[in-house]
Amino acid sequence: MCSTNVSLSGNAVDTSDCIEIQCSVRYSGIWSPVFICASHLPGISTSHTSTDSGEVMYRRVIAACDIEDFTELSCSMNFTLITNYQDVYTDIGLSTEPDKPVYEFAWKTAAIHIVNASGKYI
């Protein structure tokens, strides 16, 4: 599940604001989900995993001035083996990596309108 903080009518954001994308997923197993959102744009990404619930929280913040008017931001998710799994399966005598989960996730915002402080489209 992904969402943004864009809340002005017409899916607009002020040019001086930031756009925040938040994604989360619950999982269990040896594969960890990895979100990729608007990787071609400058910004800050953070990811946090709660081991108690198996939930991965992802957050990406992008300055509105770094995107063009009518931009659609997108996210996808893939999987990576947990950090020390290769050592574990080698220790128990397995020679091949386990099958990667087949799961396609793609999410996209509606076109985001960039407005100036007066609320006028740029």
CATH number of the domain encompassing residue 23: 2.60.40
75 is a domain residue: yes
Token look-up 């619930």 returns 53
Mean pLDDT of the chain: 84
- pLDDT tens, 11-44? 999 999 999 999 999 887 777 888 999 989 999 9
Domain residues for the domain of 89 are 2-115
Going by the DSSP 8-state scheme, the letter that residue 72 receives in this structure is -
Percent helix, strand and coil across the chain, each to the nearest 5? 10, 45, 45
Q: Return d(Cα 43, Cα 51) in angstroms, integer.
A: 26
Total domains present in the chain:
1
Tell me if 6 is assigned to some domain.
yes
50 within some domain? yes
Q: Does 85 fall in a domain?
A: yes
H or E segment to which residue 86 belongs: helix 85-91
The answer to whether residue 121 is domain-embedded is no
Overall pTM surpassing 0.85 (yes/no): no
Residue 90 — pLDDT band, cuts 50, 70, 90?
A: low
Q: What is the pLDDT of residue 31?
A: 79
Is-contact 18 63, C-beta < 8 A?
yes
- φ and ψ of 93, to 5 deg: 90, 10
Asked if the structure places residue 84 within a domain, the reply is: yes
Spatial separation of the C-alpha atoms in residues 86 and 32, rounded to whole Å = 14
On whether residue 110 sits in a domain, the answer given is yes
- At residue 104, the pLDDT reads 80
Within-domain flag for 120: no
